[in-house]
Amino acid sequence: MKKILVTGSAGFIGFHLVERLLINENYEIVGIDCIDPYYDINLKLKRLNLHGIEIKENRNCIQSSKYKNYKFHKVDIAEFDTIIEIMAEYMFDFVINLAAQAGVRYSIENPRAYTHSNIDGFLSILEGSRKTNVKHLIYASTSSVYGLNTKMPLVETMPTEHPMALYAATKKANELMAHSYSHLFKIPTTGLRFFTVYGPWGRPDMALFLFAEAILSNKPINVFNNGEMIRDFTYVKDIVESIYRLIEKPARPSDSWSGENPDISKSSAPFQLFNIGNSSPTNLMDYIKALEVSLGKKAIMNYMPMQPGDVPVTHAEVSTLENYIDFKPQTNIREGIKHFANWYLDYKKLKN
């Protein structure tokens, strides 16, 4: 069996990825998560419980009660020595690093949380990959790295030297760190720039979760930039399918890469970057309307100015990824939001 490490496995995308991986019995899966209290840990524990993991403080490794090929370690990826030990114990074929401190606005309030998880933690993963000869390291980046770019659609070859918040800066740093390890140690690394991921089991600090909670409580929702926002909303299962198809397609050096005219999305090292988005930008007000339809209730709008670190528009160019894995995210917002709303009503025990 091929061995896969998924960090952030109690998180939003990590949970869905583990679910997808468990379908393939040829994979032995190990999840890592520190169960950080950035948001309600009960949501994280419920995600783990669905995969047969019950957290017990006195046990370092927990075997799933539902899946014989799934184990879980409760550990912070910034615990360098522990991460190296775990990776040396299993000798993973593939590593998918989804553990990170998320959130653009929170990075303004608590910057040290981002250097801890996104810089120190990622270094642990890189060193563990180097020491154990990992065949492919996939890691989460973000569309936020495009920062002050205003030309649309956003393409992997665009410059990303002007981030608008520390969160984006740490993710840009991850891409640079990964390249250095690909160059020095020939570790195949693939960075994935996610575009506004949404869906069931999402984070409570994400817009869709906050909107649903407020609408059903007859409270106003905060609509930033007076609703004049456009986002490339991407359904979580489309994200996960893309990751799944990338696992056994490790990055390779680009034959056409030139130091005289460098393409920042590729390299002479086994390194690559991909956008993952729906490539179908949606106005925020249409997004809200789709949620209103799914919940059967109108929202009370509280129009607000643009928030620090936000951008007015995102639009992913995804043809490079589509050509590489023969798959393109395709779930439209009406379908995706309906799935979310059904889950949310059930999760909150509001469903009839």
Q: What is the largest CA-CA distance in the chain?
A: 63
Fold of 2-198+236-278+316-330: Rossmann fold (3.40.50)
pLDDT in tens, 79-134: 999 999 999 999 999 999 999 998 777 888 899 999 999 999 999 999 999 999 99
Residue 111: partners with Cβ closer than 8 Å, 6 or more residues away? 166
CA 76/CA 299 separation, integer angstroms: 39
CA 31/CA 92 separation, integer angstroms: 12
Q: Say what the pLDDT of residue 308 is.
A: 84
Facing residues of 251 across strands? none
Residue 351: partners with Cβ closer than 8 Å, 6 or more residues away? 342, 345
CA 332/CA 340 separation, integer angstroms: 12
Candidates 88, 106, 78, 105; CA nearest to 7 is 78
**Six token digits for residue 301:** 């709008």
CA 120/CA 102 separation, integer angstroms: 15
pLDDT tier for residue 351 given thresholds of 50, 70 and 90: low
Domain boundaries, the chain: 2-198+236-278+316-330
pLDDT in tens, 248-272: 999 999 999 999 999 999 999 999 9
Phi, psi of 27 (to 5 degrees): -105, 135
pLDDT in tens, 281-317: 999 999 999 999 999 999 999 999 988 878 889 999 9
**Do 64 and 70 touch, CB atoms closer than 8 A?**
yes
pLDDT in tens, 143-177: 999 999 999 999 999 999 999 999 999 999 999 99
**pTM (two decimals):** 0.96
Catalytic residue positions, numbered = 167
Candidates 111, 113, 93, 106; CA nearest to 34 is 113
Q: Radius of gyration (Cα) for the chain, nearest Å?
A: 20
**Do 181 and 269 touch, CB atoms closer than 8 A?**
no
